[in-house]
């Protein structure tokens, strides 16, 4: 039996190369913990991976990646385009440290004209398109959709209420009073006239704003000539609303019907991609992204990787305009065309209106990148101040703040928020549902429960390597809401888990709970306060307030869910009919709980066996 050490790095990769086919596919590299550190695609797996096996001639980034590789996995695909799509999916899922990572990848909102009701509804929509109707978008943000809906309400007077609200109206709502709805719910507009408004709105959203305004102009003139001045004034107001939206959209290209425009800026080791959404010849907003990428990467490489991830789960327009040439442009077009089901063209405009669009996106990318760098610089100074105030060896990369919320112990929820060099890390927030009966409103007990669950799991998943500079799972500073008692409880929990070097701070509210007069508690130091104008004080207040907001919100959500739960729902054999009969007979679930077996059995549909089961459910001690 051989005792030779396991292969690693270039030697391990060279060993894999001997068994690889010369076919397209995707490869993954893993470190000693089994975490994916890189995902790549290849037209020829054998040729591509053999480049890593040379072990020399690589830049520092690739050389480090190779040295950390302890295992590899491969998937053969039918084509390189299919490999590109699979690569994007795996990167989004695994987030390997050596890949370009698209962050803040939320779904885009749309405007929906829902047709499931006889009077179509104007609504904001996000997610699966499972409602019958016409969808318009994507819009860059919820604010962009809200502004558009606000304008459409003024211009076309379509209802935005839900079908249930519509069915229960007996008089016009406030939106009708402020001239934003034609009130079809109470019959103030006939269905043919309302359908005409829907058609006009759809025409406007489809890029026919000029035609719609012209038609409204003719209708206004006809109403004025017929001396119907009130109708003419209403049409005039609608024209003004449409004119406002077309004037304030910024760039409205005349020769571009449907396209996404990307501008990439790179400065100070940070990348920013600005996206403009052009639909139906109108600008439907813009959004800035800050992908995670090695600063040594070429802009073309970052943009290509960004695009493949960006469009993995989003509709793809007919044209994509870029500020930079990208590697493998024909491959991207082939993959996007197959994914979208229609021809997709990637352009790098050199002149004319399309070039002006790209230049505008590029300018916005540079400005957004500048703002982000300024914010990051300010955040870095704050974290340096935090390190100074709390005697940390270096500015913290990860701060965890804990708080809990309950009402006399009921629906207790703990909340953990996370902050770092780029501000609040909301994807890292966690909530902890507590056993209210066991804890009985004990704040110390809740804090112990929360910290025990959090750090037990952290130890299980990441071991105790808090000092690994490549790991951001472990907090550099833990902040808890409370004074010396809470601090001692937290310290005891961490001590039981063997975590003796964790930096812990308790923040107690000042007299009369005044902000600005907080006392800070740390082990080995007397309690202290910060100067009223110290930026670190404001920063800690923001962290504490965010933790409180998150805990309160989670508590309210849990309480709201509990309000809709009836104790009778927990008893086997009681469905809607029997529950209704019991509630009619006794008036409430509490009264049912107090009833004896004979009274329960007297209710229609409740047998003696079920009556005994109901009684036993509410009286387990008997």
Reduced to 3 states, what is the DSSP secondary structure of residue 460? helix
Task: Average the pLDDT over 599-619 and give the result.
Answer: 86
Query: Residue 399 and residue 420: Cα distance in Å, rounded?
Result: 6
Note the pLDDT of residue 473. 80
Other residues' Cβ atoms within 10 Å of the Cβ of residue 330:
9
The DSSP code for 185 is G
Helices vs strands, H then E, count in the chain: 21, 18
Note the pLDDT of residue 560. 55
Note the pLDDT of residue 61. 86
Note the pLDDT of residue 210. 61
| Choice among 77-86, 195-204, 250-259, 548-557 with the minimum mean pLDDT | 250-259
Query: Residue 104 and residue 340: Cα distance in Å, rounded?
Result: 23
Task: Average the pLDDT over 165-182 and give the result.
Answer: 87
| Choice among 203-207, 470-474, 518-522 with the minimum mean pLDDT | 470-474
The DSSP code for 115 is -
SS (H, E, C) 551-575: HHHHHHHHHHHHHCCCHHHHCCCCC
Host H or E run for residue 432: strand 430-433
Q: With contact defined as beta carbons under 8 Å apart, do 388 and 394 qualify?
A: no
Percent of the chain past pLDDT 70, that is, above it, reads 86
Length of the chain: 622
List C-alpha distances in Å: 142 to 41, 252, 442, 481, 607.
35, 20, 40, 33, 54
Model pTM score: 0.63
Query: Residue 458 and residue 426: Cα distance in Å, rounded?
Result: 18
Note the pLDDT of residue 30. 94
Task: Average the pLDDT over 326-347 and give the result.
Answer: 89
List C-alpha distances in Å: 213 to 49, 198, 241, 415.
60, 14, 10, 52
Note the pLDDT of residue 320. 93
Task: Average the pLDDT over 468-496 and give the result.
Answer: 82
CA neighbor of 373 nearest in space, from 472, 316, 431, 288: 288
For 73-124, what is each residue's pLDDT tens digit? 999 999 998 999 899 889 988 889 899 988 766 677 888 889 889 899 998 8
Domains and CATH numbers, the chain: 9-94 (3.40.1440.10), 110-248 (no CATH), 258-371 (3.30.420.10), 399-464+473-562 (3.30.420.340), 567-618 (1.10.150.20)
For 249-303, what is each residue's pLDDT tens digit? 445 555 677 889 999 998 877 899 999 888 777 777 788 889 988 888 888 889 9
Query: Residue 390 and residue 479: Cα distance in Å, rounded?
Result: 11
Beta bridge partners of 110: 125
* Token pair listed for 40: 């790549």
Percent of the chain past pLDDT 90, that is, above it, reads 20
Interacting residues of 132 by C-beta distance below 8 A, sequence separation 6+? 114, 115, 116
Place of tokens 């019907």: 257
152: buried, middle or exposed (CB in 10 Å: 19+, 13-18, 0-12)?
buried
For 579-598, what is each residue's pLDDT tens digit? 888 877 777 777 888 888 88
Note the pLDDT of residue 566. 67
CA 217 to chain centre: 43
CA neighbor of 88 nearest in space, from 371, 403, 268, 328: 328
Does residue 236 carry a pLDDT above 80?
no
Note the pLDDT of residue 247. 43
Q: How confident is the model at residue 128 (pLDDT cuts 50, 70, 90)?
A: confident
Interacting residues of 87 by C-beta distance below 8 A, sequence separation 6+? 26, 39, 40, 41, 308
Note the pLDDT of residue 469. 45
CA neighbor of 37 nearest in space, from 4, 64, 16, 17: 64
CA neighbor of 200 nearest in space, from 215, 189, 221: 215
Identify which has the larger pLDDT, 241 or 405.
405
Note the pLDDT of residue 467. 47
């Amino acid at each position: 039996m051989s005792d030779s050490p396991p292969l690693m790095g270039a030697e391990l990769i060279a060993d894999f190369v001997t068994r690889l086919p010369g076919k397209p596919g995707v490869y993954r590299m893993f470190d000693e913990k089994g975490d994916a550190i890189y995902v790549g695609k290849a037209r020829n797996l054998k040729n591509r991976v053999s480049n890593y096996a040379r072990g020399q001639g690589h830049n520092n980034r690739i050389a480090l990646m190779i040295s950390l590789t302890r295992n590899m996995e491969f998937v053969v695909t039918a084509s390189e385009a299919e490999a590109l799509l699979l690569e994007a999916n795996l990167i989004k899922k695994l987030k390997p440290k050596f890949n370009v990572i698209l962050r803040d990848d939320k779904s885009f909102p749309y405007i929906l004209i829902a047709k499931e009701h006889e009077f179509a509804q104007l609504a904001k929509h996000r997610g699966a398109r499972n409602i019958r109707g016409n969808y318009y978008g994507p819009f860059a943000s919820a604010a962009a959709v809200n502004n558009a809906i606000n304008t459409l309400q003024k211009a076309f007077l379509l209802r935005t209420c839900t079908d249930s609200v519509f069915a229960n109206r007996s008089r016009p709502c406030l939106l009708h009073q402020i001239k934003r709805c034609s009130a079809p719910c109470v019959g103030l507009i006939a269905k043919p006239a309302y359908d005409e408004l829907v058609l006009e709105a759809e025409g406007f959203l489809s890029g026919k704003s000029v035609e719609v305004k012209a038609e409204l102009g003719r209708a206004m003139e006809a109403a004025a000539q017929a001396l119907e001045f009130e109708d003419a004034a209403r049409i005039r107001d609608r024209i003004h609303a449409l004119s406002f939206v077309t004037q304030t959209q910024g760039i409205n290209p005349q020769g571009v019907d449907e396209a996404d425009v990307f501008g990439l800026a790179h400065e100070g080791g940070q990348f920013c991609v600005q996206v403009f959404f052009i639909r139906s010849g109108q600008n439907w907003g813009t959004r800035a992204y800050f992908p995670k990428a090695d600063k040594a990467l070429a802009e073309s490489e970052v943009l290509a990787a960004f695009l493949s991830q960006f469009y993995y789960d989003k509709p793809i327009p007919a044209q994509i305009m870029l500020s930079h040439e990208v590697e493998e442009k024909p491959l991207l077009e082939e993959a996007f065309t197959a994914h979208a089901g229609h021809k997709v063209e990637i352009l790098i405009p050199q002149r004319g209106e399309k070039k002006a669009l790209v230049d505008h996106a590029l300018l916005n990318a540079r400005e957004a990148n500048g703002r982000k760098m300024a914010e990051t610089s300010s955040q870095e100074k704050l974290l340096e101040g935090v390190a100074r105030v709390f005697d940390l060896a270096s500015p913290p990369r990860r701060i965890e703040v804990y708080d809990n919320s309950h009402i006399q112990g009921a629906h207790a929820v703990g909340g953990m928020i996370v902050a770092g060099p780029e501000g609040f890390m909301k994807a890292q927030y966690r909530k902890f549902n507590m056993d209210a009966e066991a804890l009985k409103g004990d704040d110390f007990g809740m804090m112990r429960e929360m910290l025990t669950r959090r750090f037990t799991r952290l130890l299980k998943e990441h071991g105790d390597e808090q000092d690994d500079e490549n790991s951001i799972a472990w907090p550099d500073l833990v902040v808890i809401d409370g004074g010396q008692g809470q601090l001692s409880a937290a310290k005891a929990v961490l001590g039981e888990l063997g975590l003796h070097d964790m930096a812990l701070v308790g923040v107690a509210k000042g007299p009369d709970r005044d902000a600005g007069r907080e006392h800070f508690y740390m082990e080995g130091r007397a309690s202290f306060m910060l100067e009223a104008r110290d930026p670190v004080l404001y920063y800690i207040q923001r962290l504490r307030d965010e933790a409180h907001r998150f805990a309160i919100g989670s508590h309210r959500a849990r309480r709201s869910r509990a309000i809709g739960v009836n104790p009778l729902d927990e008893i086997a054999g009681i469905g809607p009919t029997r529950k209704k009969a019991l509630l009619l007979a006794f008036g409430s679930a509490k009264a049912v709980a107090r009833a004896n077996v004979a009274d329960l059995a007297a209710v229609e549909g409740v047998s003696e066996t079920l009556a005994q089961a109901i009684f036993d459910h509410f009286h387990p001690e008997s």
